[in-house]
Amino acid sequence: MTSTSIDVDALTAIDVHTHAHRSIHAPAPDGGDEAMGEYFGIGSMAQLTVPELADYYRERRMAAVVFTVDSISQTGEEPEPRNEEIAELAAAHADVLIPFASVDPARGRAGVAQARRLIEEHGVRGFKFHPSVQAFHPNDRSAYPLYELIEEHRLVALFHTGQTGVGAGRPGGGGIRLKYANPLAIDDVACDFPDLDIIMAHPSFPWQDEALSIATHKPRVHIDLSGWSPKYFPPQLVKYAGSLLKHKVLFGSDFPAITPDRWLADFEKLDIAADVRPLILRENAARLFGLKREETT
CA atoms within 13 Å, Cβ hemisphere of 96: 18
Distance CA 203, CA 17 (A): 13
Q: What is the pLDDT at residue 47?
A: 81
Q: Within the chain, which residues score under 50 in pLDDT? A: 1-4, 32, 36, 39-40, 42-45, 296-297
pLDDT tens-digit profile of 41-97?
544 446 899 999 999 999 999 999 999 999 999 999 999 999 999 999 999 999 999
Q: What is the pLDDT at residue 44?
A: 41
CA atoms within 13 Å, Cβ hemisphere of 19: 23
Distance CA 137, CA 130 (A): 10
* 159 membership: H or E segment, kind and range: strand 156-160
Kindly list the distances between the CA atom of residue 284 and the CA atoms of 154, 158, 210, 222, 237, in Å, as whole numbers in the listed order.
16, 15, 21, 9, 17
Q: What is the pLDDT at residue 45?
A: 43
Domains and CATH numbers, the chain: 8-288 (3.20.20.140)
Looking at residue 10, what DSSP letter applies?
A: G
Q: What is the pLDDT at residue 34?
A: 52
